[in-house]
Amino acid sequence: MWEFTQTSVHWIDIVLIVSYLAGITVFGFYYKSHVKTAKDYFLANRSLPWWVIGLSIIGTNIGSNDYIGAAGNAYSIGIAQANFEWIGAIPAMILSALVFIPFFWRAGVYSIPEYLGLRYNNAVRFIAACVMSVFAVVIVGVFLWATAIMLQTYLGWPIWFSILVTATVVGFYTISGGLGAVAITDTVQAFIMFFTAIIVAFIGIEKIGGFDMFIKILQNNYPDHLHSFLPANHPVFPWPGVILGLGIVLSPAYWCANQAILQRTFAAKSEWDGKASMMFAACLKTFVPFLIVMPGLLALTLAGKSITHQDQALPWVIKHILPAGISGLMFVAFIAALQSSIDSTMNSTSVMIVRDIINVAKKTKLTDRAQLRLGKLFTFIILIVGIAFAPITAYFQGIYVYVQYALSLFQGPIFALMLFGILDKRITPSAGLFSMISGLAVAAVLGWLQFNMLYIAFLSFVYSAIALYIVSLLTKRKPEAELKNVVYSNVVEID
């Protein structure tokens, strides 16, 4: 289990990887002095500018599962995988920037469940926080396992050693530096990812014989890989499912209601910075397929269909295409992707556990000092549980699909509550609670009936929306005064 395998990694690559890990650790130690209150730890004292948040959002969004899973899917289905970055992200990011973020920022919340608590009641807040926290811990395990596979393939490190090294580095700066350290390291990591992607694409296309040859091989041998959509009867990504489930429900749910993504926009130094950060992230998102889809297409054009498992496409590119130094850089980008996702997930989950679960369950507000201490403690606990969960990921085929499937089970109902709660003041707290609980049950039943994950998201969203309106007709509204800066019609008036 702890046996190190001999590999042919060049010393330059090892120096790059070790330097990066050491640099990030030193930065975490330096940033520790900036954290004195819970607001510093969870919201970086509301001091972040739009461009830092925008880069940080992309850093968080691109995880190790994207690098391995999306490259693997691109190898298998082609450019249709880019839909997760285009139609499956950008419209929702515009919606998030212009409609959702202004409410969150003005309400001064620390988390999405806290907003749901203001809009509905504490029961909705508590349940949403519990569901999101459980998923987040699972995600930490998935990220760690994906990295361990990569480290094992590339450096020959044993699985558990790889998990512990990455967990130690990420845990150190996240626990000591809070959201400020997370956002700044994410920014650096996003730079590394884009820089490396450009170099990898350049080297890979050169190796094939130029861009024209690259396109020619794809057109002649794999013409289906150049279509943005797959047929309606495709078993995993049918286009109606991609449009209805991903484009209309899963994507807006992720970009408008995902705590790990949105927490840094709450930390923006102004409302405009919060909105602009998401728009800037959407601009960057346009180019993300070059990072994560291109390696899969390079593997396909160079190796053909000889790669046995699609998740091996990216490791194949690193091992067979990239020269010494560049493969180390690619590896650093991969580790950066992991770290920027895992640090945000841990920090944002600790916010929900401390403020939305413990605070609500206790019914008396924790002191600032207690919130800070508990925040750090739970960040550590989330990491430990994630480490314990990591090996279970091995039982699932295709990391990316597995993560998306888990998301589809709860994002439909939560997004229905967010969207209609923000737009329509007639929606009542009781309707919110009923729709959330029954919507989660509907999603679970659809999952049990083996519906495609994209249809689960869409149908559970539609169900929850209908339930919200029916129950609202029968129950009591929240007083207007309590909805100020929480519902759209009550916000525009203040301008």
Partner 1 sequence: MTEILYSLPLWYAKVTAMLIFLGMLIVAWLLPYNFVVQGAPDKKRWRDLRLWATLLTIVQLFIYYIF
Can you give the binding site for partner 1, defined by CB under 8 A? 79, 86-87, 90-91, 94-95, 97-99, 102, 105, 226-229, 231-233, 238-240, 242-243, 247-248, 270-276, 279-280, 282-283, 286, 491-492, 495
Token pair recorded at residue 408: 């589809």
Q: What angle do CA 142, 314, 183 make, to 5 degrees?
A: 55
Select 3 or 495, whichever has its Cβ closest to partner 1: 495
Please tell me the distance from the alpha carbon of residue 306 to that of residue 298, in angstroms, as a whole number. 13
Contacts of residue 301, defined as CB under 8 A and 6 or more positions apart, other chains included, come to 208, 214, 217, 218, 221
Please, what is the end-to-end C-alpha distance for the chain in angstroms?
62
* C-alpha dihedral, 481 to 483 to 489 to 495, nearest 10°: 70
CB of 29 to partner 1, least distance (A): 33
Tokens of 472: 């609202």
Q: What SS3 state is found at 111?
A: coil
CA 364, 370, 371, 377 torsion: positive or negative?
Answer: negative
> Hey, is 16 helix, strand or coil?
helix
Q: Which residues pair with 48 in a beta bridge?
A: 268
- DSSP code, position 124: H
Q: With the C-alpha atoms ordered 109, 111, 114, 118, is the resulting torsion angle positive or negative?
A: positive
Under the phi-then-psi rule, with left for phi > 0, alpha for psi from -120 to 50, and beta for the rest, what region is 323?
beta
Contact at 8 Å (CB) between 426 and 407?
A: no
Shortest Å distance, C-beta 244 to partner 1:
9
Quick one: 223 exposed, middle or buried, by C-beta within 10 A (0-12, 13-18, 19+)?
Answer: exposed
CA–CA separation, 263 and 28 (whole Å)? 19
Gap between the Cα atoms of 384 and 386, Å rounded: 5
User: CA–CA separation, 241 vs 83, rounded Å?
Assistant: 12
